[in-house]
Amino acid sequence: MNARNWGSSRWPPALARKSSTASRSTWLAAEIARTTIWIGDIQWGLKHALYARPEPVPRKLDQIECRDAVLTPRPDGSFGEAHWPRVDFIIGNPPFLGDRRMIAGLGEDYVTSLREIYADRLPGRSDLVCYWFVKAAECIQGATSVRAGLVATNSISGGNNLPTLRFVTTRATIFEAWNDEPWIIEGAAVRVALVCFTNHDSNETLRLNGSTVETIGVDLTEANEAGIARALAENRNVSFIGTQKNGPFDVPGDLARSWLKMPVNPNGKSNTEVVRPWTNGSGIVRRNEDRWVIDFGAEMSETEASLFEAPFGHVAKFVKPTRLQLRRQWHRTKWWLHGDPRPALRRSLQHLARYVATPRVSKHRVFVWAHPIICLDSAAVAIARDDDTTFGILHSRHEAWSLRLGTWLGVGNDPRYTPTTTFETFPFPESLSPNIPAPAYAADPRAIRIATAAKKLDGLRRIWLNPPDLVRIEPEVAPGYPDRTLPKDADAAKKLKVRTLTNLYNQRPQWLADVHEALDRAVAAAYGWPEDISTDEALEKLLALNLARRTRQEKRS
């Protein structure tokens, strides 16, 4: 049997050379891969009566090598693309390493070379495992291999990794796949996809998750490329990932409030301009932890920032030392600003009384209203709309859409929300889309019905989260901030700890189910569908609507 197992050596030799232990472990991995192939070959032969008494000494398997599978080091220290020899099968478990962790794990020179060499085939933000899929697909297209079977995290079929399987399907046919399987290794639990592909002329029976299907799409569902939802122009510049601090800009509530109460600074301005409440994905679905952040915006100069004396002094003392040695020039030279301050997000929120926020990863896809002064972390997504109609649509059919089109992450296999693949692809009801100002449809009976149901959902949830008999409302120490919601006493504080959105949706009491049903019926009617339409049928209609609008959009352009 002639096979290539590239999953046997988890890291490139450039990394393995850092220690003898790493070198021994990669060599051992290759030996284990050979042994596994030998055992499998013997077992298969016995099962199919090819061997009566197999020889104890296995055949040589030089095709399994202990070396870098995607790049080849050159004598001058640079890298070239690795060559894969002719083999019948390519099998393996390539390394799981997200794009944001590649530089820390593999080194900047290696990752820069990797992305440059494969730039014509993969976007720069692809996970490491994607490069194995590209190489395998090219081998099949070039007839230097017949079949490939690779393991990847289940995120291979969505988000930034989706172009990978699109590349594969232009050069090969996915004939068998499992799109979401549990995988436990070294105590870490992840969810994986198993993808097998071969040449287009193979006439294989297609199987998805163990069942025979007509097609297997690039998103590892029973769909073809024409049935994949794409971004719609009407949804652009509305949904944004929150800011990324890249440094200890956080301060506790007591310290932040002491700054808010200080006299104005030498520039005549209060610290309220640069000290803001902060929340992330966990803060949305759990209790408010009273976390604050120093935020000098996206463009403030060091000189201007220094005039806010106390906050700037804190950043100079605690943030600056952590930023001066970082790789990105922005992080080093703009150390008093957040690592990614999201200027487009800030501009979109300037004139809003509130905005919609949702965690990027959470067990339940929930949306909440956020005060515009709250600084949202990169673990959450902001949607720059402040009308109840949009809020209601998001918490109805869009919720199901985002669960179907999003990727999944972590031990709990929680859904991940992205501005591009889940928000920008979603077709809102006609004339209620995000490119239309809310006042333009304020008198629309459809919008009014949705808004009424949305207000009821939001109001009931707020009372459940903060029952009036358990909390007291106090104004913040400075104007322009949301009021504080505090427990009345220690006993109330204990009871409030378990009142979170996660727990509410875990329990899903009857009143919550009823108000969601009313909202679903209102939104279904806005599309012109039967109000009792099933979720699966609604999703089919949403996909058809996305495709129709995309076609119309392409004709206009």
* DSSP per residue, 219-259: TSSS--GGGS----GGGTTSEEE-BB--S--EEEHHHHHHH
Decide: 131 and 122 in contact? Cβ < 8 Å: yes
In a domain, 328, yes or no: no
CA distance 373 to 272: 10
d(CA 427, CA 468): 38
Task: Look at residue 327 and tell me if it is in a domain.
Answer: no
Tokens standing for residue 256: 């932040």
Q: DSSP letter for 340, please.
A: B
CATH number for the domain spanning 185: value is 3.40.50
380 HSE (CA, 13 A, CB side): 25
> Which of 179, 194, 227 is at the close of a domain?
227
Q: What is the pTM of this model?
A: 0.77
Task: Say yes or no: 175 and 233 in one domain.
Answer: no
Q: Are 90 and 145 in contact (CB under 8 A)?
A: yes
Q: End of a domain among 174, 192, 227? A: 227
Per-residue pLDDT for 7 more than 70?
no
Residue 61: inside a domain? yes
More confident: 62 or 390:
390
Tally of domains in the chain: 2
CA–CA gap between residue 286 and residue 433 (Å, rounded) = 30
Q: What is the pLDDT of residue 41?
A: 78
Asked whether residue 346 is domain-assigned, the answer is: no
Whether 233 and 166 map to the same domain: the answer is: no
Burial class (CB in 10 A: 0-12, 13-18, 19+), 296: buried
- My answer on whether 235 and 189 are in the same domain is no
Q: Are residues 191 and 233 in the same domain?
A: no
What gap in Å lies between CA 219 and CA 154, rounded to an integer?
10
**Same domain for 27 and 56?**
yes
Q: Is 136 domain-assigned?
A: yes
Closest to 371 (Cα-Cα) out of 360, 361, 356: 356
Q: Indicate the Cα dihedral angle 499, 505, 511, 514, nearest 10°.
A: 160
413 and 510 housed in the same domain: yes
The tokens describing 404, both together, are 């179907």
Tell which wins on pLDDT, 137 or 203.
137
Average pLDDT over residues 198-219: 88
Residue 5 to residues 138, 259, 491, 499: CA-CA distances in angstroms?
16, 59, 60, 50
Residue 233 shares a structural domain with residue 142:
no
pLDDT for 224 = 58
Q: Are residues 233 and 105 in the same domain?
A: no
Q: Are residues 191 and 141 in the same domain?
A: yes
Q: Are residues 234 and 213 in the same domain?
A: no
* DSSP β-bridge partners for residue 151: 194
CB atoms within 10 A of CB 540: 12
Task: Answer whether 164's CB lies under 8 Å from 412's CB.
Answer: no
Asked whether 375 and 233 are in contact (CB, 8 A), the reply is: no
Same domain, 157 and 200: yes
pLDDT band for 487, please (50, 70, 90 cuts): very high
Cα 345–chain centre separation: 18
- Mean confidence (pLDDT) of the chain: 88
The reply to whether 236 and 219 lie within a common domain is no
Residue 434 resides in a domain: yes
Is the pLDDT at 435 greater than 80, yes or no?
yes
The 10s digit of each residue's pLDDT in 131-187 is 999 999 999 999 999 999 999 988 888 777 878 998 999 999 999 999 888 877 665
- What is the token pair recorded at 142? 């070039």
**80 found inside a domain:** yes
Do β-strands 147-153 and 89-92 pair in parallel, antiparallel, or remain unpaired?
parallel
Closest CA to 476 of 270, 248, 269, 249: 270
Range(s) of the domain holding residue 147: 3-227
**Taking a C-beta distance cutoff of 8 angstroms, is the pair 355, 318 a contact?**
no
Residue 297 lies in a domain: no
Q: Which of 237, 276, 256, 235 is nearest to 372 (CA)?
A: 276
Reduced to 3 states (helix: H, G, I; strand: E, B; else coil), residue 161 is helix
- CA nearest 477: which of 200, 292, 286, 209? 292
- Give 8-67 pLDDT, tens digit per residue: 333 333 333 233 344 555 677 778 877 887 888 788 877 877 766 656 556 677 777 788
For 253, the token pair is: 């509530």
Choose the final residue of a domain: 199, 227, 255.
Answer: 227
Range of 29-43, 201-215, 505-519 with top mean pLDDT:
505-519
